[in-house]
A = this chain, B = another copy of it.
């Protein structure tokens, strides 16, 4: 058996089912039955139950009042709202880091990430997307934990958990649109402003730049919905959106 596979049937089931939900293969509103899933995945009902329970925790499934699960249905408004919530949570993490003070180590790591992101930009519109995407995630993860509170870190991460709420959800793998690439530069300016505000103990500024930063994602998704809805099925994590 492959080592790369998660050790247990339960973990594997979580991964496979998540993939099927995110890809839209199990569409929103569909009820999931333990027996049929067990047959599909070729395991018994027990690890299936385990997996369903974890996916409910993750927010991809809803529990029915009398037992059973349905795939949660997400619409345009839910995407907007979850981006809004991520902005609010990241804003709170930034504000608390400014108000309560951030550890020198954390700030150093954040500065380092920002510098590395700078290095992703070349002449003109050229951007190293893959590197930017990874570093962007690092930045947001570091920000979440910066104020030193485990509870804040945890809840900020949670707000980024849904596939379309993540900070790099729309950081286009091979997106050719020039406006999107340019938006990365202004996003990086916001990264710097957030760090600067935290260093200067400017809580309100840190909070609201972080919120505005999340608006970039909202702007992108609005563009996609209005101008290029075909992209919906193509961008990972957007295929499950109900139209």
| Of A50, A150, A151, most B-chain CB atoms within 10 Å | A151
Q: Are B57 and A151 in contact (CB under 8 A)?
A: no
- Is A38 part of the contact surface with B, judged by Cβ < 8 Å? no
From residue A12, how far is it (CB to closest CB) to chain B in Å?
15
Q: Are A149 and B81 in contact (CB under 8 A)?
A: yes
Query: Knowing A57-B56, A57-B57 touch, does A151 contact B78 (C-beta < 8 A)?
Result: yes
Residues of B contacting A82 in the complex (Cβ-Cβ under 8 angstroms): 151
Using an 8 Å CB-CB cutoff, how does the interface string of A156-184 with B read, 1 for contact, 0 for none? 00010000000000000000000000000
- Majority secondary structure, A binding face: helix
Q: How many copies does the complex hold?
A: 2
From residue A3, how far is it (CB to closest CB) to chain B in Å?
16
* CB-contacts of A84-137 with B (<8 A): 84-85, 88-89, 92, 96
Contact-size category for A: 20 to 34
Q: Are B92 and A88 in contact (CB under 8 A)?
A: yes
- Is A202 part of the contact surface with B, judged by Cβ < 8 Å? no
- Is A222 part of the contact surface with B, judged by Cβ < 8 Å? no
- Is A152 part of the contact surface with B, judged by Cβ < 8 Å? yes
Q: Are A155 and B57 in contact (CB under 8 A)?
A: no
- Is A5 part of the contact surface with B, judged by Cβ < 8 Å? no
List A residues at the B interface (Cβ < 8 Å): 49-50, 53-54, 56-57, 77-78, 81-82, 84-85, 88-89, 92, 96, 149-152, 155, 159
- Can you show 13 pairs from A to B with CB atoms below 8 A apart? A49-B50, A50-B53, A53-B54, A56-B57, A57-B57, A78-B150, A81-B151, A84-B92, A84-B96, A85-B92, A85-B151, A88-B88, A88-B89
